[in-house]
Amino acid sequence: MANQLERNKQSVIAFYDLAFNQGKPAKAVETYAGEVYIQHNPGVPDGKQAFIDYFNRLAKRYPGKRVHFKRLIAEGNYVVVHTHQEWPGEADWASIDIFRLDDNGKIAEYWDVLQQVPQESANDNTMF
């Protein structure tokens, strides 16, 4: 079980890095997505090709965008990732991303929750 959890975490990091940081969403889907890819972000259409098209648009609009992985939590076929996203020319974002992997370790489903990193905070703690 521990090996499966580690495999799932590594697959999610590699998928996210390839699609987001390296700007290669088609390669990310080909390598790490399963037969079906279910998207829960209401701003992104469902399916693998829609994911590829969306991330290709982002790469053109925001060259140099970066995602930094802060925490990963794995349980069963789920991996939760806490990230710091840098968008050149825009505000930074904190995100919690949830990936469900199929029994073969391929990404099958995705949810995300985003919050803009504010300029000022009511406390001295960071979001990361």
Give the model's pLDDT for residue 1: 73
Strands 33-39 and 107-116: parallel
In a domain, 124, yes or no: no
* Total tally of structural domains belonging to the chain: 1
Note down the domain range covering 86. 2-116
* CATH number, domain containing residue 31: 3.10.450.50
For residues 11 and 50, give the distance between their C-alpha atoms in angstroms, rounded to a whole number: 20
**Local confidence pLDDT in tens for the 128 residues of the chain:** 779 999 999 999 999 999 999 999 999 999 999 999 999 999 999 999 999 999 999 999 999 999 999 999 999 999 999 999 999 999 999 999 999 999 999 999 999 999 999 999 999 999 99
For residues 110 and 100, give the distance between their C-alpha atoms in angstroms, rounded to a whole number: 6
In a domain, 122, yes or no: no
In a domain, 71, yes or no: yes
